[in-house]
Amino acid sequence: MKYESSRKAALILGVHPNTLRRMANDGEIETIKISGQRKYNVESYLGAIESAVICYCRVSSDKQKDDLDRQVQFMRNQYPHAEIIKDIGSGLNFKRKGLNTILERAMRGTHITLVVAHRDRLARFGHELIRFIIESNGGKLVVLSEDTLNHEVELNQDLLNILHVFSCRMPGLRNYKKQVAQAISNRAEQSAIQAMDESEPLRL
């Protein structure tokens, strides 16, 4: 078993030497002392890091369960030993249970190879942010086909969701505008009264 110097271990792990020393002091990485210098067991540390291959499948609604089953079967054929995580929910919704489970595991340090059949199965927008989170934690994103899918039903549903969000916000925006207008009116009225009081001649 080979032990590395502080400089080389920090380079291999991509951490600052101070971080490496903290890891050793906290017992996260095994060390020995040779001629008074600390050596690091990088090989053992890397082997202890949890890794996972996860195939992610998604459809927008319960009516598309047949499509979801086809996605799952395809992934099982391509990656027979991989973990399958699936969601039923809009690609605009980032509160999907399965997706959040994957991201939480990545941020806990699991090196995840995340496989999706098409990019829009992961998210309608924001997939580059998901890629960044996965890759920043030692994993990678694998998109089997870069072709854009034309799921008309899903696209229509996503558009309806966007319109719904904006329509819900409009009444609140109108109320806010009314409150601002009222506040301005009140302020103007108070200023006018104050100006009249200041201009009124002093009676002796």
pLDDT per position as a tens digit, 137-171: 889 999 998 765 555 555 565 566 556 556 666 66
Domain 49-145 is found in CATH 3.40.50.1390 = yes
* Phi and psi torsions of 89, nearest 5°: 175, 160
SS3 percent helix, strand, coil of the chain, rounded to 5, is 55, 20, 25
Which pair of tokens denotes residue 142?
């694998």
The tens digit of pLDDT for each residue in 66-93 reads 999 999 999 999 999 999 999 999 888 8
- Identify the active-site residue in 51, 60, 90, 185: 60
61 is catalytic: no
Cα–chain center distance at 118: 18
The tens digit of pLDDT for each residue in 98-137 reads 999 999 999 888 899 999 998 888 887 888 999 999 998 8
Q: Which residues contact 153 (CB under 8 A, 6 or more apart)?
A: 60, 61, 64
Least confident interval from 16-30, 163-177, 181-195: 163-177
What does the domain layout of the chain look like in residue ranges? Answer: 6-42, 49-145, 152-195
